[in-house]
Each structure stands twice: as structure tokens, then as C-alpha cells.
């Protein structure tokens, strides 16, 4: 009996050790959610302190700033989704800070505090990519839980932030604002991830938002995307990550340069890219999958002005969504293609 008990304890220990090792191999990236306003005097010192901590700890954090419409006349970059996050956390004063769902003082938050959160074992891995093409943001995310959770209260959240802004300066003297939230996709409620099974990925593909007339984005090249998973019962954030930029904003150097056609779409074994040049350009083409991995590449060298057709052998590609990147000189033009066989 004693030997049996010892064996059971040993097996339990091995199981826990395996889970601990698995969690330790996945680095937690703490999510910092700040509530602020360009009309809030005390927010200045809090924002300076937080930025100093971030500058001293690159690659160890994510940060979303929700600009509030109070005090005073409010911040012009207030959004209803920022208001929803304020209600979610019952924020009644600013500056205010939550790190992975727990309240901290933004004025006294330190590198030690960040490290303490950074060293908490991760509960999930998140891999995400995004593109910004003609004011359209597309995000693809893979959530992989590290343990089972049969509840359905875990929500996947996606926030589009502008890394630096200046147009929202007002009465408190601040002139530069960081990681200002511009859109939560699809909204502040996020998307339910359902029951979690350890090591079973949950794919969230082609989450898309188009910034329309009246959007407050100052520079579309300056957008970033943060993805996180949160437990709505106790507001604990399981994991967060900066999404990887898959393709850049389409900016045509001169009218006429760029992709004119991509066909057939969906494609099976062959696809054709038609493009036009108005002056000499070095031409390269690549195809990447939704994880940002390059799966095809071709260097066409320098081309003279004219119209061209480029055939792509897609027979080795699996079914799914891909991005075709045509680089003309220093400028990259992107189109989406679907492979169906």
C-alpha cells in the first residue's frame, strides 16, 4: 500500500513538473491598460513614469491607452469602446492602470512590478499577425491554451492602437501620447473562445475592420495590434502579445505602379499576377501565410516601364488564405489570395 501511494505521488509530481516546464517555456507578456486624458493634470506624471518603465524594459510588455472624455471637455480620441473598458473595470478616476487585470498605481509602477508580472507562469500562447491595406486592418490569431478550462468565460480581445499621436493634445501640457486605442475588433466585448483544451489551438482568422470617414488615425503606418485573452469572471489576463505586421500600408509612389490583377482567385495550382510599371523598378514577389511565414519567393530583377504578367506555381500550397506581396523598388503592394484544391 505504501509503495502504491508513493508511486501515485511520484506520478502526480511528474505531471505537475511537466505542466510547470511547459508554462515556463512560454513567456508571459503582461498587458498594461492605462486610462488617461489630455485634460487630466495628474495624468502627465503617470504617463511619464509608465513610459520610462517601458523604455527600460523593451519586449517585456504590451500597452493600451484608453483616452477618456473627462475631466474638462475631454480627449478628442475618446471612443465608446474605451468607455466600455472603463465600465468593465469600474474606473471612476484617472490616471488608472490595470496590469493583467489587476489594479496598480501608474505613478509608482516600477520595473520591479513589471518583472513580477512578467515572471508569472503563462497560461496560454498567442500568435498573431496583422496587415494594414488601404485603411483596412486584418488580424489572424492562434490562441493555444496550456491547460484545460471547461468554462466559456474566456474572451479573445484585439485592440488596434496608434503607437504615437500628437493631435489630441489639450489642456494638461502633454504633446505626445503612446499606444492610443483606436479600435477594438470586432468590439469591446471581444470574441468568446469557448472551452479550452490544453495544447489545442483556437484559430481566429480574418478579423477585419475598415477605418472610414471621420477616423482619428493620424498615420496608418503607425498602427499596431495587441491581442490578449481575458477571463471575464475575475478579469485575469491569461496572455497578451503584439501582433506581427504581415504587410505594410499600400502606398503607390507614382500613379500606375502596382498590381492590376490577381487571378484566378481562389486559385488551385497556378495563379497569375498582372502588374504595371511607369518607370524602372526592381521587382520581387513573395507569398506569406497568415502566420507571417514566407512560402514562396521570386526575384524578377529590374524591369522597364510596361505591363507584365507573372505566373505563380501554387501547387505546393495548402488550402487557406495567403498574402501576395509585390515589391516594386522600395514599395510593397499586397493582395489577398485564397488557395482551394
Whether residue 24 is predicted with pLDDT greater than 70 in this model: the reply is no
- Round to whole Å and give the CA distance between 141 and 108: 34
pLDDT of residue 16: 36
Which of 20-29, 94-103, 269-278, 295-304 is most confident?
A: 94-103
- Round to whole Å and give the CA distance between 160 and 42: 26
Gap between the terminal Cα atoms of the chain: 59
Average pLDDT over residues 248-260: 54
pLDDT of residue 247: 55
Whether residue 79 is predicted with pLDDT greater than 50 in this model: the reply is yes
Fold classification of 258-339 is Immunoglobulin-like (2.60.40)
Higher pLDDT, 207 or 277: 207
Tell me how crowded residue 14 is: count the other CB atoms within 10 A of its CB.
10
Helix segments in the chain, DSSP class H: 2-25, 43-56, 80-89, 111-118
CA triple 254-259-263, angle to 5 deg: 170
**Dmax over Cα atoms in the chain, in whole Å?**
85
Q: If you ran DSSP here, which 8-state letter would residue 267 be given? A: B
Selection from 340, 332, 333 nearest residue 271 by Cα: 340
- Round to whole Å and give the CA distance between 64 and 113: 17
pLDDT of residue 250: 39
Q: Is the pTM here over 0.85, yes or no?
A: no
**Banded model confidence at residue 27, pLDDT cuts 50, 70, 90:** very high
* 36: enclosing H helix or E strand: strand 31-36
- Round to whole Å and give the CA distance between 335 and 333: 7
Domain extents for the chain?
A: 23-247, 258-339
Q: What would the CATH number be for the domain defined by 23-247?
A: 2.60.40.10
- Round to whole Å and give the CA distance between 75 and 36: 9
Cross-strand bridge partners of residue 294: 288
- Round to whole Å and give the CA distance between 272 and 293: 21
Q: Which three cell numbers stand for residue 175?
A: 504633446
Identical fold, 23-247 and 258-339:
yes
Query: pLDDT, tens digit, for every residue of 145-165?
Result: 999 998 889 999 999 999 999
Strands (E), 37-149: 62-67, 96-99, 102-104, 124-133, 136-145
Query: pLDDT, tens digit, for every residue of 89-143?
Result: 999 999 999 999 999 999 999 999 999 999 999 999 999 999 888 789 999 999 9
**Banded model confidence at residue 256, pLDDT cuts 50, 70, 90:** low
Higher pLDDT, 305 or 250: 305
Query: pLDDT, tens digit, for every residue of 194-252?
Result: 999 999 999 998 899 999 988 999 988 889 999 999 999 999 999 999 998 875 443 43
Whether residue 253 is predicted with pLDDT greater than 50 in this model: the reply is no
Selection from 234, 237, 223 nearest residue 185 by Cα: 223
Question: How high does pLDDT run on average in the chain?
Answer: 87
Selection from 336, 308, 157 nearest residue 239 by Cα: 157
**Banded model confidence at residue 275, pLDDT cuts 50, 70, 90:** confident
Q: If you ran DSSP here, which 8-state letter would residue 317 be given? A: P
Amino acid at each position: 500500500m505504501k509503495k502504491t501511494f508513493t508511486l501515485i505521488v511520484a506520478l502526480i509530481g511528474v505531471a505537475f513538473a511537466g505542466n510547470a516546464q511547459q508554462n515556463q517555456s512560454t513567456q508571459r507578456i503582461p498587458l498594461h491598460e492605462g486610462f488617461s486624458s489630455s485634460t487630466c493634470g495628474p495624468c502627465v506624471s503617470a504617463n511619464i513614469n509608465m513610459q520610462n518603465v517601458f523604455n527600460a524594459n523593451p519586449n517585456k510588455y504590451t500597452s493600451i491607452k484608453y483616452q477618456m472624455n473627462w475631466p474638462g471637455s475631454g480627449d478628442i480620441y475618446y471612443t465608446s469602446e474605451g468607455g466600455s473598458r472603463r465600465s468593465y473595470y469600474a474606473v471612476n478616476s484617472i490616471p488608472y492602470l490595470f496590469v493583467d487585470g489587476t489594479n496598480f498605481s501608474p505613478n509608482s509602477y516600477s520595473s520591479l512590478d513589471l518583472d513580477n508580472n512578467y515572471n508569472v507562469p503563462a497560461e496560454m500562447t498567442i500568435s498573431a499577425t496583422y496587415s494594414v491595406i488601404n485603411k483596412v486592418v486584418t488580424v489572424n490569431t492562434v490562441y493555444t491554451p496550456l491547460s484545460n478550462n471547461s468554462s466559456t468565460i474566456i474572451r479573445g480581445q484585439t485592440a488596434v492602437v496608434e503607437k504615437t499621436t500628437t493631435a489630441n493634445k489639450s489642456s494638461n501640457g502633454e504633446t505626445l501620447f503612446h499606444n492610443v486605442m483606436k479600435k477594438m475588433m470586432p468590439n469591446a466585448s471581444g470574441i468568446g473562445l469557448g472551452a479550452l483544451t490544453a495544447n489545442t489551438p483556437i484559430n481566429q482568422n480574418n478579423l477585419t475592420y475598415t477605418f472610414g470617414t471621420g477616423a482619428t488615425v493620424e498615420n496608418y503606418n503607425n498602427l499596431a495590434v495587441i491581442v490578449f485573452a481575458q477571463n471575464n469572471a475575475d478579469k485575469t489576463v491569461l496572455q497578451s502579445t503584439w501582433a506581427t505586421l504581415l504587410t505594410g500600408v499600400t502606398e503607390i509612389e507614382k500613379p500606375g505602379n502596382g498590381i492590376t490583377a490577381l487571378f484566378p482567385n481562389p486559385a488551385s495550382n497556378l495563379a497569375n499576377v498582372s502588374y504595371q510599371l511607369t518607370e524602372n523598378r526592381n521587382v520581387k514577389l513573395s507569398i506569406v501565410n497568415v502566420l507571417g511565414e514566407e512560402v514562396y519567393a521570386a526575384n524578377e530583377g529590374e524591369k522597364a516601364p510596361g505591363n507584365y504578367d507573372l505566373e505563380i506555381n501554387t501547387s505546393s500550397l495548402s488550402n487557406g488564405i495567403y498574402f501576395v506581396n509585390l515589391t516594386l523598388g522600395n514599395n510593397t503592394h499586397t493582395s489577398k489570395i485564397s488557395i482551394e484544391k
